[in-house]
A and B are shown apart, each in its own frame.
Chain A
Amino acid sequence: MIEAELTCEGDILKTAKIKRGFEERPLWKRLERLKPNEMIGWVDRFDSLCPIASEWALAQALESSMDLEIPKRTQFVRSLLNELNRLVWLATYLGQVTDTLGQRTITQQVLVLREKVFVIQEEITGGRILPQALTIGGCRRDFAMGDVQKVRQFLDGWRGQWKAWLELVSDDPLLEARLKNLMVVDASLVEKLGWWGIVGKASGVTYDSRKHRPHGAYPFIEFNIFSRQGGDAQARFHVALDEVGGTLSLLDQLLTKIPSSIDARVQAKPLQPGLFFGTAESAKGPVIAAVEVTGQEVVSSLRLFAAGQRVWPILDHLFQGMRTEDFQLAFASLGVGAEESEI
């Protein structure tokens, strides 16, 4: 659900003012008062659809300050959790687009798929929507015996239902016609705003921090970055579909290659003063964490950066001149929905 003030002239949109809610939140001040492990749990609230990437980016920044080396199995577990979590965002995105098209049944079906991801996420981490899964140097819970098998079974079932859903939307002439040439975002705007994720990839900008800033288990896995050239809603929709397929394949590889021996728990070290960064790839693009540590192990500044923060201020202008009836669909196709709460 979005709230917007639109001014129209005939069928053409003159101005659009999309309401986003409060622009300031006390999240950062709250985080700065917590201990490092608590910060990682709390930072889920940055974006409830991409909590693992938010946790992971912050964990990397803090671990960098402690000069910790993260064991290989832990990197695999983190990557598995991140890929599962990417399915949540992608299913939500696809649901928003199909819902805007009035395709209620198709929407419900993709939300059922999302629900299944929430269920497995809860089984593995204990948290359904905000998993609070990572800690300094590791994960709150390593994969227990049988968890690999459990995720494999989940994938088998999910993949079958995904295939059935895909058949419903693939080559649907009405859907393709509505999305084609809608809200074209060109590559130069993507680059100027760092509007990565599906918007960037749909415009031919293939920045993906899993490749460009290798982290976790991604350097040990083979995968391609999906992209299109059109830059329109149709290209974004297809990139999202491709990304789901890519994530399923990545999950398969991660489950196959995950080291079997459980790592010894990494002990936290004192935070060293300085500025530290971390980044993790969510489905909507990279989340970057910046942390300043001052003497006496105090985190004095902390911020997460994501594309939404950079895009929202210019969003209203993008809709000027388009057909009013296309507004909702164009907005949904950008993937900056109301759920995104990052500030």
Chain B
Amino acid sequence: MKLSAGEPRSVDLNDLREYLDKLVRDKETETFLGSVMTTKGLFILLFSHRYNEEHALIVPGTDAPRILARVYETLAGSKKGTSP
């Protein structure tokens, strides 16, 4: 079994808001599934019910709380998304 996430895309923290906004707008994600710190940065797993697909990204950096705050903010601020 493999998730459909595929290779995670690397997204810079400065571009994260714009990137997530677009994903939510295109209904490619609305759900934050979880995150884990990796050697390449913070790995974030998202999910779209519409497409039944996971979406994986890596945000370089070690400041996980700041990155996650940006993710939550963006998902909460978008029309379809929200966050814990």
**A interface, CB within 8 angstroms of B:** 60, 64, 191-194, 205, 207, 212-216, 275, 277-279, 288, 290, 292, 294, 300-303, 305, 309-314
Contacts and interface: CB of A to CB of B under 8 A. Distances in A.
B5 interface: yes
B55 to A, nearest CB: 12
Given A310-B34, A310-B84, A305 B45 contact: yes
Contact of B1 (A205, A215, A301): A215
Contacts of B56: 275
B34 A279 contact: no
A185 to B, nearest CB: 13
B5 A277 contact: yes
A64 B7 CA distance: 14
B39 interface: yes
* 5 closest cross-chain pairs (CB), A and B: A305-B34, A215-B1, A303-B36, A313-B84, A277-B3
B31 A191 contact: yes
Contact of B34 (A213, A216, A309): A309
A214 B56 CA distance: 20
Contacts of A215: 1
B43 to A, nearest CB: 7
Contacts of B14: none
A279 to B, nearest CB: 6
Interface in B19-45: 30-39, 43, 45
A290 B34 contact: yes
A205 B30 CA distance: 14
A310 B33 contact: yes
Contacts, number: 74
A275 to B, nearest CB: 6
Nearest to A57: B1
**Residue from B1, B34, B47 having most chain A Cβ neighbours under 10 A:** B1
A336 to B, nearest CB: 13
B36 A277 contact: no
A165 B45 CA distance: 41
A311 B5 contact: no
Given A191-B30, A191-B31, A213-B3, A290 B45 contact: yes
Interface string B33-69: 1111111000101010100101010000000000000
B39 A301 contact: yes
Contacts of B34: 288, 290, 303, 305, 309-310
B64 to A, nearest CB: 12
Interface string B1-24: 111010110000000000000000
Nearest to A28: B36
B45 A288 contact: yes
A192 B43 contact: no
Given A275-B43, A303-B34, A207 B49 contact: yes
Contact of B3 (A192, A279, A300, A309): A279
A305 B33 contact: yes
Contacts of A294: 39
Nearest to B72: A313
Given A193-B84, A301-B43, A310-B84, A275 B38 contact: yes
Contact of A191 (B7, B38, B49): B49
A214 B1 contact: yes
Nearest to A313: B84
A300 B38 contact: yes
A212 B39 contact: no
